[in-house]
Amino acid sequence: MAGTPRLADAPAPVWKRLLALPAGRRAKWAFFVLWLAVTAFTGPFAGKLPQVEKNDAVAYLPASAQSTKVNTALLHFPGGQQVPGVVVYAADQGRVTQADMALAARQRAQAARLVPDFVPQGLVLSRDGKAVSYAFDMRQPDATKLSNDLRTVSREVAGVPGFKGYVTGAAGFLSDTVGAFNGVDSLLLLVTGLVVVVLLLVIYRSPVLWLVPLLSVVGAVGLSNWAVYQLARHAGVVVSGQTGGILTVLVFGAGTDYALLLTARYREELRRHRDHHDAMRAALHRASPVVLASASTVVLGLLCLMVARLNSESGLGPIGAVGIASALLAQLSFLPALLVVGGRRLFWPRTPAYQGAQEGRDGFWARTADRISRRPRPIWAGTALALLVLVTGLFGLKLGLQQGQAFVNTPGSVTGQALYARHFPAGGGEPVIVLAQAAKTAPVLAAVRSVPGVSRAFPVATAQGQVEVLAVLSSVPGSSASYQAVGAMRDRLAAVPGARALVGGNIATTLDTNNAASADRYVVMPLVLLVVLAVLAVLLRALLAPVLLALTVVLSFGAALGVSALAFHAFGFAGVDQTVPLLAFIFLVALGVDYNIFLVSRVREEALVHGTREGTAIGVRVTGGVITSAGVVLAATFAALTVLPLVALVEVGFIVAFGVLLDTLVVRSVLVPALVADIGKRVWWPSRLAVTDGAHPTEGRRGAG
């Protein structure tokens, strides 16, 4: 395309001139030193994020939830900040002996001496005589301290061969959940970093070049960790171990994507310019609008999460937006400075030589583009049909996990809960908590006891005119039967005049979390699609193209979720966590739009000169390699989440990784180009390009692909 008209000498807007600063001969060193200082200062904040994380389910819920109101009201009761739990011992064979009972009593006393916040109650022998248990309270509201203390208790009550003890109940599950996040940030950073290093070595095939995007991404990770730490400390944004892990892979994935795009354009411009400073200025001039548009779309999509009811999801909105903004800032300032400081020699042994014009395009993507141009309609129709077949996997999707199904492994709390349910009333370890007006204690107790599935209910304390009632369920905590019992309890208590009853506790908290997650899906998903449509309409100056692209995004997400539902069944997972579909949708749609923008903005650029069909072929040839590389890197970084011990994070990692690959290799490389080529210039309706296809040579060469 040596004869293509260009605007390299046209005056650039002020914002583009500012973006070109890192390419300056003197300014590059200022940016280089500044970012090294920022990286050194912010790096330690990765280790500080766990200090501000909140991993208890109550912190995730809005203040309007009944379980949150109960948790707040309990602060006024004696021992209101205590977290209940159960220690259960079971004999492998036969009945519990007097010696076993004595051992349990000694270990209980020793645990209480070692952990002052551990307050045990009396031993209870099961009716079948094969197990013994005792309830306890942890006088420690801080989840991290509670987890550390209960690990000490677990070691003390381990029992002996043939008679083993386990810590379970609300405190046990909270401890194991918090413990699952111990060391996660370091592990995830290590795994993600190694994945990115390996892929960059494969992509660039250079012993040096891979260091440049990696260093710029590390700078972005440090900056994002510092910013998120400040948000959590001073703005009240809820940070969980889950969002902290997602932040790491998000910054690594998006940052590497932007680095690949800019580096590819820089390599292209090095063949057109003798001076590498001029090449970087041209690369920034052409690539920065696309990178800015892509990052802005992801940021806006993530900010849609702020309307979610769940604090864990609404907090991920600004946290993810900060991560993307940090990646964008680093890749448009730190990365260019690093590349210009290194010059052409960074690309050794495949150093791009000055050619004075763009080189010819051939190879796999050229052949792919030619095939699509020849037969676009059967290609897009066949591809869409194949994706619809994958969507049918959604019929096997089961939403919701019981408490004990949330872990990849089997921690002590899960084993203990199963033992307790086998020998005692299943809900005894996690009673439902009812708060009501003390004057209405009798009708409240009658209403609670009338609920099917309640084995017993009794008052335990009064404070400030309220009574606290504990209701023990006969069903396993977290089962559908336990949720039905809580729902029925709320309905019957609402009918007690003047009781003003609230139902809380661990089971109710999980139920409220599931309900909030379900409601969030119906609000946030459509909002994200509207944002994506608006951004694409502004960028492409059309309406039909954005609608078609949004439909392909939805189809891609449905296919990814359908395949994942089948995969999770094969993995042995009991279902999909309620929060996973929304998180997967946000990442697949927002990040998938990146590739839409990379491709279609270049297609539009070329269509101004060559017409839509030929412009589509050129767009595929030019962007196919970089989009594929970026997609593989992003998929691999999210796949790093699958090394973590929580099912929800493994599911998010798998869905997003598979979905990004599907989007990159099929939707963006085959379906979208074939659709655009088949529809032709009408795809740009109602813009002027829909009429004057290929008649604007002076407007060409403005974007970046």
d(CA 370, CA 675): 14
In a domain, 682, yes or no: yes
Predicted confidence at residue 642, as pLDDT, reads 86
pLDDT at res. 555: 92
**Higher per-residue pLDDT: 46 or 577:** 577
DSSP 403: G
Average pLDDT score over the chain:
85
Q: In what order do the strands lie in the sheet with 454-463?
A: 454-463, 466-473, 432-437, 502-504
Domain assignment of residue 240, yes or no: yes
| Confidence band for 112, pLDDT divided at 50, 70 and 90 | very high
Domain boundary among 127, 149, 180: 180
User: Predicted confidence band at 626 (pLDDT cuts at 50, 70, 90)?
Assistant: confident
Query: pLDDT by residue (tens digit) across 320-340?
Result: 999 999 999 999 999 999 998
Strand partners, 119: 137
On the question of pLDDT at 257 being above 70, the answer is yes
Same domain, 291 and 340: yes
Averaged pLDDT for residues 131-146: 84
Give the pLDDT confidence score for residue 562 in this predicted structure: 95
In this structure, are 169 and 187 located in the same domain? Answer: no
In a 13 Å sphere around the CA of 291, the CA atoms on its Cβ side amount to 31
**SS3 of residue 435 by DSSP:** strand
Q: Of 679, 553, 536, 539, which Cα lies nearest the Cα of 615? A: 679
Q: Which of 227, 228, 224, 257 is nearest to 637 (CA)?
A: 257
Query: CB–CB of 121/108 below 8 Å?
Result: no
Per-residue pLDDT, averaged over 629-640, amounts to: 86
DSSP string, 556-597: HHHHHHHHHHHHHHHHT--SB-TTHHHHHHHHHHHHHHHHHH
Query: Does residue 260 lie in a domain region?
Result: yes
* pLDDT tens, residue by residue, 596-613: 888 888 888 788 888 888
Across 431-445, 613-627, 689-703, the highest mean pLDDT is recorded for 431-445
* Tens digit of each residue's pLDDT (9 = 90 or more) over 271-325: 888 888 888 888 888 788 888 888 888 899 899 999 988 887 888 889 999 999 9
Position 506 in a domain:
no
Domain assignment present for residue 234? The answer is yes
Binned at pLDDT 50, 70 and 90, residue 3 comes out as very low
Number of other residues whose CB lies within 10 A of the CB of residue 51? 12
C-beta separation of 420 from 133 below 8 A: yes
Kindly tell me the burial class for residue 224, based on how many C-beta atoms sit within 10 Å of its own C-beta (0-12, 13-18, 19 or more).
buried
| Residues 503-561: tens digit of each pLDDT | 998 889 889 988 998 899 999 999 999 988 888 888 888 889 889 988 998 999 999 99
Say if 11 falls within a structural domain: no
345 and 378, same domain (yes or no)? yes
CA 414 to chain centre: 25
* Dihedral in degrees, nearest 10, Cα atoms 315, 320, 326, 327: 170
Q: Do 655 and 688 sit in the same domain of this protein?
A: yes
Asked if 642 and 661 sit in the same domain, the reply is: yes
Q: Which of 180, 200, 215 is the last residue of a domain?
A: 180
464-478 residue pLDDT tens: 899 999 999 988 888
Q: Which two tokens stand for residue 614?
A: 């030929």
**Is residue 580 predicted with pLDDT exceeding 60?**
yes
Cβ burial of 112 (10 Å; 0-12, 13-18, 19+) is middle
32: left (phi over 0), alpha (psi -120 to 50) or beta: alpha
Question: What pLDDT does 288 receive?
Answer: 83
CATH number, residue 377: 1.20.1640.10
Helix (H) or strand (E) holding 509: helix 506-540
What is residue 11's predicted lDDT score, i.e. its pLDDT? 54
Does the pLDDT of residue 693 top 80, yes or no?
A: no
Euclidean distance between CA atoms 159 and 92, whole angstroms: 12
Same domain, 255 and 143: no
User: Burial code of 553-585, b = ≥16 C-beta within 10 A, e = fewer?
Assistant: bebbbbbbbbbbbbebeeeebebbbbbbbbbbb
The answer to whether residues 662 and 586 belong to one domain is: yes
Residues 632 and 540 in one domain: yes
Q: What angle do CA 638, 644, 647 make, to 5 degrees?
A: 90
Among 81-85, 100-104, 137-141, 295-299, name the most confident range. Answer: 100-104
Quick one: average pLDDT of 217-226? 92
Structural domain contains residue 490? no
pLDDT mean over 609-624:
84
pLDDT value at residue 4:
39
Same-domain status, 579 and 672: yes
Q: Convert the pLDDT of each residue in 656-685 to its tens digit.
A: 999 999 998 899 889 999 998 888 888 888
Q: What CATH number is given to the structural domain containing 164?
A: 3.30.70
Residues 634, 659: Cα–Cα separation, whole Å:
10
Residues 38 and 106 reside in one and the same domain: no
Same domain, 33 and 159: no
Per DSSP, the three-state class of 138 is strand
Identify the DSSP state of 85. E
* 246 has pLDDT over 70: yes
> By residue range, what is the domain housing residue 148?
85-180
Comparing CA positions, the residue from 308, 145, 322 lying closest to residue 246 is: 322
| H or E element, residue 463 | strand 454-463
Taking alpha carbons only, the member of 111, 84, 166 closest to residue 419 is 166
Give how many domains the chain has, as a whole number.
2
The pair of three-digit structure tokens given for residue 521, joined into one six-digit string? 């899906």
Burial 610-643 (b: 16+ CB within 10 A, else e): bbbbbbbbbbbbbbbbbbbbbbbbbbbbbbbbbb
Task: Kindly state whether residues 530 and 595 are assigned to the same domain.
Answer: yes
User: Sorting pLDDT into bands at 50, 70 and 90, what band is 144?
Assistant: confident
pLDDT tens digits, one per residue of 364-399: 888 888 888 888 999 999 999 999 999 999 998 888
For residue 202, the tally of other CB atoms under 10 A from its CB is 12
Six token digits for residue 579? 């929060």
Q: What is the pLDDT of residue 349?
A: 85
Does residue 280 belong to any structural domain of this protein? Answer: yes
Please identify, among 180, 201, 227, the residue that sits at the C-terminal boundary of a domain. 180
> For the residues 621-630, what does the mean pLDDT come to?
84
